Amino acid sequence: MIQTRGFRNRAAGDGFEVRLRLPYYRGLWTNLIEGATITVDGERFAPGDIGWSIGGVRYSPAELRASKTARWPVDVPALLSVPRPQPLSIGFHTVAAELRLRMSYIPEELQPTVWSEERRLVITR
């Protein structure tokens, strides 16, 4: 789910970006994305603060939920843009992602489906 490629500081120095590949087996209408929580070195960033970009189109979490046409395909990783007062330092960082997706065919009490992964990634500059 968490991609090595795409982990970098935002150009303006006001946060960082991380790419997620959809860990599910089919693409989704973006309405079914309940959100992603990103944690870096123990610092947690809430789903509502994270901007999304899929196939070059930017969405706020609210826009993902509202769109009638937007999709997250299996083979198109999403770029998550995370605001932070300072850029991340060059070197290793422990990056965790928790992604919540809403499945319609699973009983409600067993939803959402929550995917989680932690990886050690490198900031190069």
Partner 1 sequence: MTEPRFEYGVSLYSYTGEYGVTMTLDDCVEDVADLGATGLEILGEAHVQDYPNPPAAWIDAWFARLERYGLTPTCYGSWVDTRRFGGRPMTVDEAVWQLETDIRLAATLGFRFVRPKLGVVTSDLEPDPVWEPATERVLDLAAEKGIVICPEIHWPSVIRSKVVDDYLAFIERTGTEHFGLLMDTGVFQTRMHHRRGGVASRLGEGSARPPEVPVVPVSDLEDVLDHVVHVQAKFYEIDDDLRDHYIPWAEFLEIIVRRGWSGYLSSEYEGDYGVGRAADQLRRQHALIRRLVTSA
At 41, is the secondary structure helix, strand, or coil?
A: coil
Determine, following the binding rule CB under 8 A, whether residue 23 of this chain makes contact with partner 1: yes
| Site mask for partner 1 (CB under 8 A), range 105-124, x = bound | xxx-xxxxxxxxx-------
Site residues (CB under 8 A) for partner 1, limited to 38-97: 65, 71, 73-75
* Tokens found for residue 32: 């079914």
Of 56 and 105, which CB lies nearer to partner 1 in the complex structure? 105
Report phi then psi at 112, rounded to 5.
Answer: -75, 170
Pairwise CA distance, residues 64 & 88, whole Å: 27
User: Please, what is the minimum distance in Å from the beta carbon of residue 122 to partner 1?
Assistant: 21
Q: Which residues pair with 124 in a beta bridge?
A: none
Q: Which residue has the tokens 């999304």?
A: 52
The residues that touch partner 1, with contacts defined as CB under 8 A, are: 1, 23, 25-29, 31-32, 65, 71, 73-75, 102-107, 109-117
